[in-house]
Amino acid sequence: MSGEVRVYGGWRDDLGLRVIPSKRIGKDVYEVFIGPQHPGSGHMRIIIRVDGDVIVEADPDIGYVHRTMEKLGEIRGWIKPIPLFERMAIHDACNITLPYVRAVEKLMGVEAPLRAKYLRVLLCEINRIASHLYGFAIFSIFLGHSTMYMWAMGDREVFIQLAEELTGARLTHSYPIPGGVRRDIPQGFPDMARRAVRYMRKRLEEYRKMFLENPVIRSRLEGVGVIPKNLAAELGLVGPNARGSGIAYDVRIIEPYEVYDELDFEVPVYTEGDALARTYVRVEEIAQSLRIIEQVVDWLEKKPREPIVDESIYKKYPPLHKKILESQGRAKLLPWMATMKVPAGAAIGRGETGRGEIIYYVESDGGVNPYRVRIVTPSARNVIAFKYALPGHRVMDLPAIYGSLDYFPPEADR
Amino acid sequence: MVEARERAEGVVGPRRYEEVLKAARSRAEEALRAVGVSFSIEEGKGFVDLVVDVDSVVRAAEALKAAGFDHVVSVTAVDYPKRKQIKVAYHVTSYLDPEIAGGIVGLAVYLPRASPEMPSLTSVWVSAEFMEREVYEFFGVHFRGHPDLRPLLLVPELAEKHPLRKDFVVREESIYEGVPERVRRG
Amino acid sequence: MEEGRVYLGNLDVAAKRARDILLGKIKLEKVVDWANAFSLWPVHLTTSCCSTEFAATFGPRFDGEQFGALPWVGPRQTNLIVIEGTVTRKMACAVRVTWEQMPHPKFAIAMGACALDGGLFYNSYNVVRPWEVIPIDIYIPGCPPRPESVARAIVELQRRIRSRRVASSWIREGWRPDRDYVAPKEDYCSWQRTSSPVPL
Amino acid sequence: MAVHEALAAIIGWPPIWQVLIIGFIGSLVVSIFAVWFERKAAARVQRRLGPYWASPRLGGLLHLIADLARYAFQYPIIPRRVDVVPFLAAPIAGLIIALLPLAVIPFTSNPSYWPLPPAAMEYSLLIALAIATLPPIFIIAAGWASNNPFAVIGGVREAFIIVAYELIAILGFLGAAAAVGSFNLVEIVAAQEGFKWLILLNPIAFLAVFIAIVMSTSAFPFEIPESEAEVVAGPFTEYSGILYALNMGGAYMRRFVLAILTVLAFLGGWQPLTPGEGLLWGYILPSIVVVAKAVVIVLAISFLRAVYGRYRLDQALDMAWKILLPLALAGIALGLIEASIGVV
Amino acid sequence: MAPRVGLRSLEKRRTLIDGVRSNIHVLMLGVKYFVNPRRMTLVYPREYPKLSEGYRGFIILKKEKCISCAACARICPSAAMKMIRVQEPDPKHPGKAKMKQYPVINYQRCIFCGYCVDVCPTEALYHVNYHDIVYDNLADMFWDLETFQREPEYKTAAEGRPVRIVIHEELGLVKVPVEDKA
């Protein structure tokens, strides 16, 4: 198919720029740019080759939010990259930074105290629920259901309020530090958390009626974007996209980090593999995270308030820092942490974020800065699904599949 | 009843991760020995790297794929200017085989830093396609046989500079510079 | 051209005369400013991760629509662009083209530390300062800023439009007296995307 | 006194009163109220406040005036690659044609204020339906003239939607006409005397007509031509300023006109009020009753935005052909059975 | 007690009656919320949320406590905290000036992560618990030493009533007016 490429409707904008909205490539095959400024594409551009209404080939053109995380990770020392890597997906802050901190702890041979581990799991589960609700909100805007966007955003504010009481910031807590966490739970936190959990359980029932059972939404999702089990395994999809296609894989079960092996919860796995199955996996995961939060809050309430920083750091605390840790529950940092050295070696830290498994390959040459930080985020591994799941569907299915994959470009572009 | 269903589905219970890693490592070593590929081992915390040389990497990859490692978790490239080498490691694991599900094994290759080039493994693992494009634009490693080797994240003129190499220096601001004049006078 | 035929003659001249009569004699300036202040519709351009807080601003708790701001679809129908976070080298072209496509009078809010001076990515090779790409009215510090900060920015922008008559001055003089127009130093859209070579 | 009579004569003249006053000014006010209700009802269902700060006491009604004024004073961009004449003509013509069905709809049983001669009144329902099918052509023209791929896709989708809902709307109205046995709207209204409204007697036909109206003016479950997620703003992507306001206003005005037609056919037009003599009792009050009922239908359609997502194009067409068409035919059958039994 | 994998599957094809029933469910739910919306909206300029004491808002310096150790400038992830050298009268022998260095903050880059407040050995930096301050030019955001010690002028407190947000089991978020006009 060499054929001459006739440019259809190309124009020289007043910027003097040759902007081509769509190129005619074949006999009746057009290349349409669903560009970065498009309600159906978020911060990326999908170039789809369309034959009539059916997508023949999709080429995701990402990199619009590439903020050079790996290069900056190599010049900022060991503590400063924690807020840096958190900016990849700020509504899932604890799950994104915890694997990096655990990789550094593996290299340093430091172990966080048990209370700090429970606090980390608490914030990770709150962020998982907030991340799923954010995914629901964007997904329902793609399907045109603005009420579900507002309900999901509203209920997400309840969990952001919890995180704000616990850490002092809405989204970007940078809560874990190598060796522990930065704050302990305030006074009225346990029953506030239980109220939030009971409220969310009632709301999940109304979500099912308004969104999952809604005839319009159900007809848009059933049988759309089907990814069979072996294709999902071949493509290496992660998180709810894999568990929606029948792959029983969750890092909290494979490598139970922190205290996940002491908690009682289930990982939902559906076998259909279509957009509806992925959505149901996320709804079930919200319900399971609520169970985890209840168990963690009960444990934290019973146990005494031990220091939330590792023994090797707590020994070096001057009396002022110890007093603040008791009174305000705030763990102070020590000045040598800005330029601390980590013994040489290479480690892989893994964690289960809301969107799937994130992996940090951290290599240190014993210096002040990490020698190499390689980050593979869940959305970076889900991008390939656009190229192999989209062809064959209609153009109107693009938002349904894009939303069901819960793809977040800043996290994919790193 | 739940346990029965788990076994039926062959789902990995929460065993200690070390056992899973040991099982994956032994499975990979047997696969490579069966194919007759010589490899050396590089230990890492939470994973293990099997270093092979360039021309036998495709055979090793097919052996690992047959042994049950069905997808690539990350194509990790590290630049060693002192040893004039670039290490490209394919960290692979398995979804469908419950014994080794989750255990990360790395298939590593050392390439000369001047003109790094190696055969693309996209034919063996489809999931490596986008990551190989990324390593191509950040490190300049040319993958022979890759279906469409184009820059993935960067603007074309930046992609030629291969930013993640150690000689592309990004300067860190010191704690005294960048203060405007009216503030410095205090 | 005699005085009498000016209405029949050139369309532009007639439009200018009508504009002078409308804006000059009849006090429509206040109406124009009031209308632009209370219907600032932000265009749907998410530049980076501050869009999470921008979405929370238009959620039910900090309802952005109470100020009349309704995130709308295309650049042609909106008059506010909110730069939500980092603008990378690739995204700068999209921001510039969207800004060019929006009809006058249009306003811009830079949201988040990344949009002010690069925030955490101040020395990254792929990050551009948005105030080099388009003229910006209100800056919001914070990473990400709280939804009240975004609501406070919308309220400040509304008061600025009504007190400094920005919208009507834009229509009368065709440019913004308070903000010198920023011409792009370098053309951010010079790079051309290489399309995938896989033939059909 | 002469001025008074002249004024009454002018207002009393059906085309002026129906097309200009009810049509243009009335539907403009109803459209603004419908958009305000749509945003406020959606805000209430979504547990938030909705437009508020422009006029706190009025609940934010002035926000709509602000939007209209902003669009009026915005700098209309006419892109270079656009075919200028149809680009400018399409929205304006679409708006005018949308109001034309009002010229043939009777608002009173008092023959002196009928818009058409009695002989032509026999087919007023058919004439009104015929004119009501014209506006979508101008939406397609708007999409085609703006030479933007999203606009073209939006315009072609509008063409698909017309094919689906046209037939169902006509069959639905025929269901009402079959029950009464004549195409004369005045007789249809007269036959619904004493709350024997056709919505109660022939609900199937009313449901078919209601869904057809929702489909024709792309209200929520079927907002496919201007669906944001795929085609940016459908046929109106390239329009800005007052042209965009005309386009969006046109959709709401068409909904108001079709609602008036439904009121006459199914909700007993000016029923509780029997029009007497003179301008006030014979013409103005009955038309106010009709407009009031039409506003209720328009607000009901606006409420759907708060609870529904958006159907895919082929699902909407399947639903139209596989579910609504049999429904409309059943409506006609029910109408004929009622006519034979003599219920009406 | 350990985590397990739960296999589930969606119910099968739905009949037309299910379609009609779920339509009615959706409309009833919509009308239920239309009648009683249980709003959670903050009418912003009139009510503003009074955040908890631990909230990480703007950062203020207590100059007398600062021992100019530059730990905060070193640990700042976005290089927003810079050190400037200031001539100061020497307390030990009067009449002679001594060079002392103090931190100044650049709110264009500050990400409010609170590392500087946590690393300061003498608690010289502290958080104010409000955050919504906007600027209309870039120069004002680089605070010099004087403005760094004054708490920024909080316009919202002057215009509105403070409100505390409480999580409620039934309504989600509830606004509780705070009596004292702090």
pLDDT in tens, chain A (414 residues): 233 333 333 333 333 334 445 666 667 778 888 877 777 677 888 888 888 788 888 888 888 999 999 999 999 999 999 999 999 999 899 999 999 999 999 999 888 999 999 999 999 999 999 999 999 999 998 888 999 999 999 999 999 999 999 999 999 999 999 989 999 999 889 999 999 999 999 999 999 888 888 888 988 898 888 999 989 999 999 999 999 999 988 999 888 888 898 899 999 999 888 899 999 999 999 999 999 999 999 999 999 888 889 888 899 999 999 999 988 888 999 998 888 999 999 999 999 999 999 999 999 999 999 999 999 999 999 999 998 888 888 888 888 999 999 999 999 988
Q: The tokens 């037939």 sit on which residue? A: D167
Contacts of D191 (CB under 8 A, 6+ apart): D179, D180, D181, D344
Measured CA to CA, the distance from residue D140 to residue D159 in angstroms comes to: 7
- Using one digit for the tens of pLDDT, what is the confidence trace for E148-169? 999 988 888 888 889 999 998 8
In a domain? residue E29 = no
Taking 90 as the threshold, does the pLDDT of residue D1 lie above it?
no
pLDDT in tens, D191-241: 888 888 888 888 999 999 999 999 888 888 888 887 777 777 788 888 888
**Domain assignment present for A54:** yes
Q: C-alpha angle with apex C122: A407 to B162, nearest 5 degrees?
A: 70
Locate D193 and state its tokens: 């005397």
The residues, any chain, with a CB within 8 Å of residue C177's CB and separated by 6 or more, are C169
CA distance linking residue B99 with residue B27, whole number of Å: 10
Same-domain status, A207 and A292 = yes
> Hey, which residues does A403 pair with through a beta bridge?
none
**pTM, two decimal places:** 0.92
Q: Tell me the average pLDDT across E163-181.
A: 84
In the predicted model, is pLDDT for residue D98 greater than 70? yes
**Which tokens belong to D337?**
């059975």
In which domain, by residue range, is A45 found?
6-61
Instruction: Count H helices and E strands in chain C, helices first.
Output: 8, 5
Residue C146 to chain E, least CA–CA distance (Å): 7
Does the beta-carbon distance from E142 to B180 stay under 8 Å? Answer: yes
Compare CB distances from A144 to D45, D232, D310 and report the shortest one's residue.
D310
List, for residues B94-133, the tens digit of each pLDDT value: 998 888 888 899 999 999 999 999 999 999 999 999 999 9
Q: Of A39, A61, A83, which one is at a domain's C-terminal end?
A: A61
The pLDDT of residue E92: 78
Residue in chain D closest to E34 (alpha carbons) equals: D45
pLDDT value at residue B8 = 37
- ipTM at complex level: 0.91
Structural domain contains residue A1: no
Cβ within 8 Å of residue C54, ≥6 positions away? C42, C46, C82, C84, C111, C150
> What mean pLDDT is predicted for residues D290-299?
93
Q: Would the CA dihedral through B158, B160, B161, B165 be positive or negative?
A: positive
Residues E64 and A54: their CA atoms lie apart, in Å, by 70
pLDDT at C3: 43
| β pairing state of E97-105 and E81-89 | antiparallel
In the block, tokens 């085989």 appear at B97
Residue A144 located in a structural domain = yes
Distance (Å) from the alpha carbon of A376 to chain B's nearest alpha carbon: 6
Location of structure tokens 């009104």: D128
Q: For D263-269, what is the mean pLDDT? A: 89
Q: What is the C-alpha to C-alpha distance for residues C4 and B174, in angstroms, rounded to an integer?
A: 71
Q: Say how far apart CA E59 and CA C90 lie, in whole Å.
A: 34
Tokens of E80: 């927003």
Residue ranges, chain C, pLDDT below 70: 1-11, 22-26, 174-186, 192-200
Establish if C92 belongs to a structural domain: yes
Residue D42 touches chain A, beta carbons under 8 Å: yes
Tokens (6 digits) for B98: 């419950």
| CB atoms E145 and B176 under 8 Å | no
Contacts of E40 in chain C (CB under 8 A): 60-61
Cα separation, B159 vs B136, in Å, equals 9
Whether residue C91 lies inside any domain: the answer is yes
Domain ranges for chain D: 2-341
Residue C118's pLDDT is what? 87
Q: What is the CATH number of the domain that holds C89?
A: 3.40.50.12280
- B14-167 — its CATH code? 3.30.460.80
Q: Does any CB of chain E come closer than 8 Å to the CB of residue D300?
A: no
User: How many Å apart are CA A360 and CA A346, to the nearest integer?
Assistant: 10
Chain A residues lying within 8 Å of C198, measured CB to CB: 57
Is position E71 within any domain? yes
pLDDT-derived band of residue D3, with 50, 70 and 90 as boundaries? confident
Spell out which residues of chain A touch residue E51, defining contact as CB-CB under 8 Å: 164
Does residue E6 lie within any of the structural domains? no
Disruptive mutation site among E85, E109, E144 for chain B (greatest number of B CBs within 10 Å): E144
The answer to whether position E161 is within a domain reads no
Q: Does the beta carbon of A46 lie under 8 angstroms from any beta carbon of chain C?
A: no
Domain count, chain C: 1
Name the β-bridge partners of E104: E82
Give the pLDDT confidence score for residue C10 in this predicted structure.
Answer: 67
Q: Which two tokens stand for residue D176?
A: 């009402």
Average pLDDT in chain D: 87
Q: Which chain C positions have a beta carbon within 8 Å of E76's beta carbon?
A: none
Say what the pLDDT of residue B6 is: 42
8-state DSSP, A18: E
- Predicted confidence (pLDDT) per residue in E97-140, tens digit: 888 899 999 999 999 999 999 999 999 999 998 888 999 888 88
User: Does a structural domain hold residue E168?
Assistant: no
Among chain A residues, the shortest Cα distance to E40 is held by A154
In chain E, the number of structural domains is 1
Give yes or no for C51 touching A (CB within 8 A).
Answer: yes
CA nearest to A250 within chain B: B102
Contact C187 A66 (CB under 8 A): no
Residues of B with CB under 8 A from a CB of A: 9, 11-14, 17, 20, 42, 44-47, 70-74, 76-79, 91, 95-96, 101-102, 104, 125-127, 129-131, 138, 151-155, 163-164, 168, 170, 172
Residue range(s) defining the domain that contains residue E138: 59-152
CA angle A347, A349, A355 (to 5 degrees): 150
Residue appearing with tokens 């400063």: A80
Helix (H) or strand (E) holding A8: strand A6-8
Q: Is the pLDDT of residue D151 over 70?
A: yes
Q: Do chains D and B touch (3 or more CB pairs under 8 A)?
A: no
